[in-house]
C-alpha cells in the first residue's frame, strides 16, 4: 500500500492518477454533477470521473471564502437510483384548437370504458363547430337534449294540418281505386250473372212455347225476347225491350228502341223497317265493346222463339252526336241505303270509357231461317 500524502506537509499535493493496484479505491468526484435529463443509466461500464481542477486547493483541503465561517467538507453524495423507464403511450390525435366550456366531461384514459352518462352525452351532443362556435357538454348538453326531445314530442299546428291533408289524399286515392275497380271489374261480373239468368229464362220460355203464342208487340219493358250473336267477336247476348239504363243496359243486355223510349223502331219479323238496338261499350258487360272491328260481310244473327234472322254488316259511322236520331230511321241517310228494306242498326258510345259520341254499325238482312231447320251457317261454322 502506498502512503498517503500528508495534507499538513504537502498543502498543495499534485494530482496523481488513480491507483492501478488491484482492489484500490477509486476516488469519485466530491461534487455530483446533476443529470441533464432523467433516463436509464448504463450500469455495465461506468466511466470513472476525475476531480475537476480546483484553483483553490485539493480534494483534501478546501480553503474557505474569506469573511465567512469555515465550512465542513461536503458529504460525499450517493448516487440516486435510476428511475424506471417510462412506458410509451400511443399518440392521441388532437382536435383543432377550439374553445371548450368548463363543463366538458373528462376524457377517459386510453383503454378505460366510458361511463353510460358520457356515452349518452356524446350521442346527444352535436359535433364541434369548426367556425369557432361554442362546444357544449355536461349540463348544457343534457338541457338541450331534453329540449330537443320535448320539441319532438310536441307537434305544432303545421305538422298536424299536413298530416291531416296527407291522410285525406290517401283516403281519396283509395276510394278512387275502389271506384275504378268497381266500374271496370265488378260491374262486368254482375252483368255477366244477370245476362246468364236472362238467357236461361228466355230459353225456358221458348221450350215451353209460351212466347210463340204471344203477340210480338206485347213484350214488357225489360223483358227479353231474342238473342243476338256476333260470331266474329264471339258475342252472344239477350235482347230486351226498351233502352232503360238501370233495367236493361246496366244488366249487360242489349236494348231495343221501343215506343216508350220515344224512338220506336221495327222488329226483326216486320216486313220492312230498321231493327235498332243499343248496348254498353265499356263496363256492365260491355257487349258492344268491339263492334268497331266488324267488317263488311260479317254476320249479325238474331234468334227469336221460332226464327233465325241473319244480317250482313254493310257500313259503319265511326262518330256522331247523341242527338243524331236519323241513324235509326227506317232508311238511315248515312248508311248507304237508298230504299226501304229490312235493316239492323247497332249503337254504342265512343270513344271508349266516355259517352260523348256514338258509334253506329249498319247491316242488311240476307236470310230468314225457321228454328226447326237448324242453325244458320253463320252459327254452325
Task: Give the catalytic positions in this structure.
Answer: 280, 349
What's the CA gap between 92 and 47, in Å, rounded?
A: 39
Are the CB atoms for 313 and 362 separated by under 8 Å? yes
CB burial readout 70-82, b (16+ within 10 A) else e: eeeeeeeeeeeee
User: Mind giving me the DSSP string for 292-326?
Assistant: GG--TT-EEEEE-SSEEEEEEEEEEEEEE-TT-GG
Residue written as cell 226447326?
Answer: 372
Please classify residue 199 by burial: count the beta carbons closer than 10 Å to its beta carbon, then call 0-12 exposed, 13-18 middle and 19+ buried.
middle
Q: Is 200 helix (H, G, I), strand (E, B) or coil?
A: helix
| DSSP structural state of residue 257 | -
Mark out the alpha helices in 107-242 (DSSP H runs): 116-124, 139-153, 157-181, 187-208
CB-based burial, 205-228: b 16+ in 10 Å, e otherwise: bbeeeebeeeeeeebebbbbbbbb
Beta bridge partners of 370: 307
DSSP state of 358: E
* 209 φ/ψ sector (left φ>0, alpha ψ -120 to 50, else beta): left
Nearest alpha carbon to residue 256 among 284, 226, 231 = 226
Name the pairing type of β-strands 342-350 and 273-278: parallel
Pairing relation of β-strands 307-320 and 299-303? antiparallel
Place of cell 383543432: 96
Task: Please tell me whether residue 182 adopts helix, strand or coil conformation.
Answer: helix
Amino acid at each position: 500500500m502506498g502512503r498517503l500524502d500528508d495534507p499538513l506537509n504537502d498543502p498543495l499535493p499534485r494530482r496523481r492518477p488513480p491507483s492501478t493496484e488491484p482492489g484500490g479505491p477509486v476516488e469519485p468526484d466530491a461534487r455530483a454533477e446533476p443529470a441533464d435529463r432523467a433516463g436509464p443509466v448504463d450500469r455495465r461500464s461506468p466511466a470513472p470521473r476525475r476531480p475537476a481542477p480546483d484553483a483553490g486547493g485539493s480534494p483534501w483541503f478546501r480553503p474557505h471564502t474569506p469573511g465567512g465561517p469555515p465550512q465542513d467538507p461536503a458529504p460525499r453524495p450517493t448516487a440516486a437510483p435510476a428511475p424506471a423507464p417510462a412506458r410509451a403511450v400511443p399518440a392521441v390525435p388532437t382536435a383543432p384548437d377550439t374553445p371548450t366550456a368548463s363543463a366538458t366531461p373528462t376524457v377517459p384514459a386510453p383503454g378505460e370504458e366510458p361511463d353510460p352518462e358520457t356515452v349518452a352525452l356524446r350521442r346527444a351532443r352535436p359535433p364541434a363547430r369548426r367556425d369557432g362556435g361554442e362546444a357544449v357538454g355536461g349540463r348544457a348538453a343534457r338541457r338541450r337534449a331534453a329540449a330537443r326531445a320535448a320539441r319532438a314530442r310536441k307537434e305544432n299546428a303545421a305538422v298536424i294540418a299536413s298530416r291531416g291533408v296527407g291522410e285525406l289524399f290517401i283516403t281519396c286515392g283509395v276510394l278512387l281505386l275502389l271506384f275504378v275497380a268497381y266500374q271496370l271489374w265488378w260491374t262486368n261480373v254482375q252483368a255477366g250473372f244477370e245476362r246468364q239468368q236472362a238467357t236461361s229464362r228466355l230459353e225456358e220460355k221458348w221450350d215451353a212455347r209460351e212466347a210463340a203464342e204471344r203477340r210480338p208487340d206485347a213484350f214488357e219493358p225489360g223483358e227479353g225476347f231474342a238473342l243476338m250473336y256476333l260470331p266474329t267477336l264471339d258475342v252472344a247476348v239477350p235482347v230486351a225491350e226498351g233502352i232503360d239504363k238501370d233495367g236493361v243496359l246496366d244488366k249487360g243486355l242489349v236494348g231495343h228502341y221501343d215506343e216508350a223510349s220515344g224512338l220506336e223502331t221495327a222488329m226483326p219479323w216486320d216486313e220492312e223497317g230498321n231493327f235498332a238496338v243499343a248496348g254498353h261499350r265499356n263496363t256492365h258487360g260491355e257487349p258492344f265493346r268491339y263492334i268497331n272491328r266488324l267488317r263488311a260481310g260479317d254476320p249479325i244473327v238474331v234468334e227469336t222463339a221460332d226464327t233465325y234472322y241473319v244480317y250482313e254488316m254493310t257500313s259503319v259511322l265511326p262518330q256522331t252526336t247523341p242527338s243524331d236520331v236519323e241513324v235509326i230511321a227506317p232508311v238511315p241517310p248515312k248508311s248507304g241505303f237508298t230504299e226501304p228494306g229490312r235493316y239492323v242498326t247497332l249503337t254504342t258510345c265512343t270513344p271508349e270509357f266516355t259517352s260523348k259520341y256514338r258509334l253506329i254499325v249498319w247491316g242488311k238482312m240476307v236470310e230468314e231461317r225457321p228454328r226447326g231447320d237448324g242453325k244458320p251457317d253463320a252459327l254452325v261454322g
